[in-house]
Copies of this chain bind each other. A is one copy, B any other.
């Protein structure tokens, strides 16, 4: 199989992932249509960091998977992630007007369009993963099953529900409980993203699973730190919401310095896990360091 994804430093590989995702999205949902549903779906996917799509592309590159299948899996996870953000922003959920510095989907269109665009993006994710161009039926089934479980009641949605209920819990949470919430809400799909490239190649997934596991937790700790230290303009969404809601976070439990130390340790473990890939894994290591140092 031709190895057609070149290794780039992280700061170039991330924008490349955004372009790859957008090109694949254009093929599935062409631009410039007079259709609110399709435009809201596109709006939800475009403009994100595409960190999850990047992880898919890097994992694929490490296993010499070609860009076609890799970009379909990258778009699939970006669709799934975009749907979760659109629904999360709804007035009945987090009630956010701003996402990535832009008006949220229900502000740009309306609530009904936001509900439906999210629903259709989830379906599109599974459409992409079950498309015959993505690889063998075995690969397809494994990617679908992994995403469905990571996205559902024991994964992302389950974590979101725990997170909502945590806000009304007055006696506080333990670190283990916070980790369980984040593992569902964010961790499961970051892990899926990291492993997808190995899945596409039907190769050993364990090193990338551990990498994704550690990265996901570091990512959420960094998010909690940003909610305390960041400002709304650079973060691109409302900040200080956790404290205002009285929510237990990694920062409230570990302290700011303790949270930063824990994030650094996780990044080290993530990098160690993929050392067997040698220099080829350098971009993924840069990504892990970026995640804990990002300001937006």
Pair A153/B29 contact, Cβ less than 8 Å: yes
Are B120 and A92 in touch, CB under 8 angstroms? Answer: no
Among A141-149, A170-178, A246-254, A260-268, the stretch in contact with B: A141-149
Q: Would A93 and B120 count as touching, CB distance under 8 A? A: no
A188 to B113, CA, bound (A): 20
Known: A138-B137, A148-B123. Is A153-B38 also a contact (CB below 8 A)? yes
The majority secondary structure among interface residues of chain A is: helix
Given contacts A36-B165, A116-B160, contact A151 B138 (CB under 8 A): no
- A126 partner residues in chain B, CB cutoff 8 A: 126, 144, 147-148
**A91-117 Cβ-contact flags toward B at 8 Å (1 or 0):** 011000000000000000011110110
Q: How many copies does the complex hold?
A: 2
A152 to B124, CA, bound (A): 6
Across-interface contacts of A147 in B (CB, < 8 A): 126
Contact status A131-B116, CB under 8 Å:
no
Q: Which of A17-70 contact B (CB under 8 A)?
A: 29, 35-38, 41
* CA of A115 to CA of B144, assembled, Å: 22
Q: Which residues of chain B come closer than 8 Å to A116, judged between CB atoms?
A: 87, 157, 160-161, 164
CA distance A290 to B62 in the complex (A): 57
Interface flag for A130 (CB, 8 Å): yes
A90 interface contact, C-beta 8 A:
yes
Nearest residue in B to A155 (C-beta to C-beta)? B123
B120 contacts A152, C-beta separation under 8 Å: yes
Does chain B have a CB within 8 A of A280? no
Contact B112 A164 (CB under 8 A): yes
Chain B residue with Cβ nearest A146: B130
Is A127 an interface position by the 8 A CB rule? yes
What are 24 A-to-B residue pairs whose CB atoms are below 8 Å?
A35-B161, A37-B153, A37-B157, A84-B119, A92-B110, A92-B111, A112-B164, A116-B161, A118-B119, A120-B157, A123-B152, A123-B155, A123-B157, A124-B152, A124-B153, A126-B147, A127-B148, A127-B149, A130-B141, A130-B144, A132-B145, A137-B138, A137-B140, A141-B141
Residues of A within 8 A of B (CB): 29, 35-38, 41, 83-84, 87, 90, 92-93, 110-113, 115-116, 118-120, 122-124, 126-127, 129-132, 136-138, 140-141, 144-145, 147-149, 151-153, 155, 157-158, 160-161, 164-165
